[in-house]
Amino acid sequence: MIVSRAPDSIHPFLRDASNLDGGAAEAVWLPQTEQEVIQVITTARQQGKRLTISGGRTGLVGGAVPTGAENGWILSTERIRPEPVIDVANLSITVGAGIRLFELREAAAKQNLFLPPDPTEPTCTVGGMVATNASGAHTFRYGATRQWVQQLCVVLASGQRLRLNRGEVIANGTTAELSTLEGSTIRLKFSDLPIPSIKNASGYFLKSGMDLVDLFIGMEGTLGVVTSVTFRLIPIPNARLGGVVFFRELQPLLRCASEIRSRSRNPNARLNSNILEFADWNALQLVREKFPAIPDDAFGGGIWIEQNLGSDDDAQILEEWMELFQRHEAMMEESWFGEHEQELARMRELRHAIPSSVYEFLTANGQTKIGSDMAVPESGFEELYSFYRQQFADSGLATVTYGHLGDCHLHANILLDGSHQLPQAKLVYDSFVAKAIELGGTVSAEHGIGKLKRRYLRQMLGSHAIESMRQAKQTLDPDELLGAGTLFEF
Ligand SMILES: Cc1cc2nc3c(=O)[nH]c(=O)nc-3n(C[C@H](O)[C@H](O)[C@H](O)COP(=O)(O)OP(=O)(O)OC[C@H]3O[C@@H](n4cnc5c(N)ncnc54)[C@H](O)[C@@H]3O)c2cc1C
């Protein structure tokens, strides 16, 4: 097994995409197998070292950055990469935790299958996806990572192993028993958390009668090391219509989005989008150089849509889309529509370029990410977004907003070019959190809590719920070996 102790080899593991400062570790361990993971955990216990689990380090909240404990170690999963195994008959794929999302996609595509959850950054690992319950554009139609996990292999902080198949270990009310492969039984007692019934990645999933596989989805490296995952897959649609549709004004765009949302949720409607993504004018400006086909008067922003085709209704579906966009004053001539894979890929590239450019900007300016990840129920969305815009306008800060409009979940980012703006940016961000909570929302819909959003988690869930999470942590990791400083204050 590779162990790196040289500062130069450790250095790249001290940052994720949040740009959180202050990471420090004595060593990075790179196990390749489950047995080697157990070996790292056992050695860490013997030597009194804490472990931070690191996947692709594309996380946006510092979960993979070891800032929680002095002299700890990093356990990187990036070499846990046995060949993916596809079960075509059962539509599933089993992958090692270190497999990157794009590699999983390539393997599945060879069998004409795909995994719907699609966090915008394809270099994330599947272990990281599970640990953060990642989601993306397709979540609008297909749900988050949680809905697609069939089996998890997890090594616990004790070095014992769990194999959890969905549907097999169900809590009896708020108590549950987990049997390890080594033959011991772990008894878990918890209280229900007030989990909002919207897209959510804020804290543990603790719910009466829950499936125990769900406890390890979204646990952010604090309850065990995920070594292998089996996902359900679905067939790649025969044909798809994609579109990036630009608007001169915001209000018609929002009205159009609202109609797409409700028609897509109606099982009898012909018009039915898999995605409903958004970028505001500032976000489009940020990537204009790379994408000169963005119209220079799309002041209202742009939305992304995608609908499966391949039925007798295709012509009618196209007509309905065009009628909808025209009625809502979209820039029909300048918008992008296409059905070829190359055209769809270009649309995805544009969407990916926006968060990437935000990351590049912040890295160039040495700043930590301050960007919202809150989602709210549909009834509160317009109020929240109008609050964001008002606060941004009053603050005079440089901002870009984009994200998952279909799920009422936007990333409103502040582009700090110097630390002098930090106190003001934090105040603005705090006001966003308070507003989202007031509207029944979640403080993290997909990036997780990590080290950057702990106090917001407490603000959202309350002390009682945090205590319930702590009890679960205490049961599974009593010595706090894993993920120090993530989710909980250390
Ligand atoms: C440009 C860009 C766009 C993004 N867009 C999205 C998006 O649309 N949706 C979204 O959900 N996220 C998005 N992200 C965030 C990020 O890609 C996801 O959070 C991703 O799931 C993190 O995976 P990772 O392998 O990089 O994990 P890391 O960053 O390495 O780790 C994340 C957390 O998971 C834990 N962890 C990692 N692997 C394991 C494991 N095997 N076992 C136990 N714990 C583990 C870590 O300890 C840490 O707490 C984006 C990031 C970037 C840079």
Whether 322 and 368 share a structural domain: yes
Ligand 1 near 60 CB (within 6 A):
yes
Report the pLDDT value the prediction gives residue 49, as an integer from 0 to 100. 96
Question: Under a CB-based contact definition with an 8 Å cutoff, are residues 405 and 300 in contact?
Answer: no
Which residue minimizes the CA distance to atom 23 of ligand 1?
A: 128
pLDDT tens digits, residue range 319-345? Answer: 999 999 999 999 999 999 999 999 999
**Contact partners, residue 330, CB within 8 Å, separation at least 6:** 245, 246, 247, 252, 253, 256
Q: Is the CB of 128 under 6 A from ligand 1?
A: yes
Tokens matching residue 27: 């060593």
Ligand 1 pocket check for 131: Cβ under 6 Å: yes
pLDDT of 419 reads: 78
| Residue at a domain's end among 51, 76, 101 | 76
Q: For residue 296, is pLDDT > 90?
A: yes
Q: Is residue 445 part of a domain?
A: no
pLDDT of residue 211: 98
| Number of domains within the chain | 3
151-170: average pLDDT: 98
Contact 19, 364 (CB under 8 A): no
Q: 162: CA distance to ligand 1 center in Å?
A: 22
Report the CATH number that the domain containing residue 173 is assigned in CATH.
3.30.465.10
160 falls within a domain:
yes
Quote the pLDDT of residue 11: 94
Q: Based on the fold, state whether residues 22 and 36 are members of the same structural domain.
A: yes
Residue 70's pLDDT band, with cuts at 50, 70 and 90, is: confident
Mutate to test the pocket of ligand 1, among 16, 60, 135, 217 (most ligand atoms within 8 A of CB): 60
Q: Is the CB of 119 under 6 A from ligand 1?
A: yes
Q: Which atom of ligand 1 is nearest to the CA of 63?
A: 49
Flag whether pLDDT at 375 surpasses 90: yes
List of E strands, 90-237: 92-96, 113-114, 149-155, 161-165, 175-179, 185-189, 225-232, 234-235
d(CA 396, CA 388): 12
Tokens of 391: 């606060």
The model's pLDDT over 71-80, given as tens digits with 9 standing for 90+, comes to 799 999 999 9
Mean of pLDDT values over 344-371: 91
Q: Residue 68 pLDDT more than 80?
A: no
174-189 pLDDT, tens digit each: 999 999 999 999 999 9
CB distance 76 to 96 below 8 Å: no
Tokens at residue 145, please? 């990572």
Distance CA 346, CA 425 (A): 33
The atom number, within ligand 1, closest to the CA of 482 reads 47
Contact 244, 291 (CB under 8 A): no
Q: What is the pLDDT of residues 226-244, one digit of tens each?
A: 999 999 999 999 899 999 9
Indicate whether residue 127 lines ligand 1 (CB < 6 A).
yes
User: How confident is the model over 111-141, as pLDDT tens digits?
Assistant: 999 999 999 899 999 999 999 999 999 999 9
Question: Are 369 and 301 found together in one domain?
Answer: yes
pLDDT over threshold 90, residue 19: no
Domain presence at residue 195: yes
pLDDT of amino acid 196: 86
Tell me the longest C-alpha to C-alpha distance in the chain.
68
pLDDT at 418 over 80: no
- Across the chain, what does the average pLDDT equal? 95
pLDDT > 90 fraction of the chain, expressed in percent and rounded? 91
**C-beta of residue 448 within 8 angstroms of C-beta of residue 124:** no
Rounded average pLDDT over 424-449: 95
436 Cα–ligand 1 center, Å: 23
pLDDT, one tens digit per residue, over 438-454 is: 999 999 999 999 999 99
| pLDDT, tens only, 86-107 | 999 999 999 999 999 999 999 9
219 and 104 in one domain? yes
Tell me what pLDDT residue 318 has.
95
Answer yes or no: is the C-beta of 218 below 6 A from any ligand 1 atom: no
What mean pLDDT is predicted for residues 388-416?
95
Residue where a domain stops, chosen among 76, 102, 127: 76
pLDDT at position 473 is: 97
364 and 323 within one domain: yes
The alpha carbon of 133 and the centre of ligand 1 are apart by a number of angstroms equal to 9
Domain shared by 97 and 222, yes or no? yes
How many angstroms is it from 46 CA to the middle of ligand 1? 29
Between CA 442 and CA 116 the distance in angstroms is 22
- Distance from residue 278's CA to the centre of ligand 1 (Å): 21
Domain boundary among 76, 104, 124: 76
483 lines ligand 1 (CB under 6 A): yes
Q: What is the pLDDT of residue 365?
A: 87
Compute the distance from residue 292 Cα to the ligand 1 centre, in Å.
30
Query: What pLDDT is recorded for position 489?
Result: 82
Confidence of residue 197 (pLDDT cuts 50, 70, 90): confident
Measured distance CA(114)–CA(302) in Å, rounded: 26
Q: Does residue 163 sit in helix, strand or coil?
A: strand
Residue 485 lies in a domain: no
Range of the domain at 379: 239-438
Nearest-atom number in ligand 1 for the CA of 130 is 21
> Are 180 and 287 in a shared domain?
no
Name the pLDDT band for 490 (thresholds 50, 70, 90): low
DSSP result, 206-247: --TT-BGGGGGTT-TTSS-EEEEEEEE-EEPPSEEEEEEEEE
Q: Are residues 262 and 371 in the same domain?
A: yes
Helix (H, G, I), strand (E, B) or coil at 142: helix
Assigned domain for 272 exists: yes
102 and 165: one domain? yes
Tokens of 7: 């500062």
258 & 188 share domain: no
Q: Is 211 exposed, middle or buried (CB count within 10 Å of its CB: 0-12, 13-18, 19+)?
A: buried
Cβ pair 27, 10 in contact under 8 A? yes
Q: Rounded to whole angstroms, how far apart are CA atoms 76 and 37? A: 10
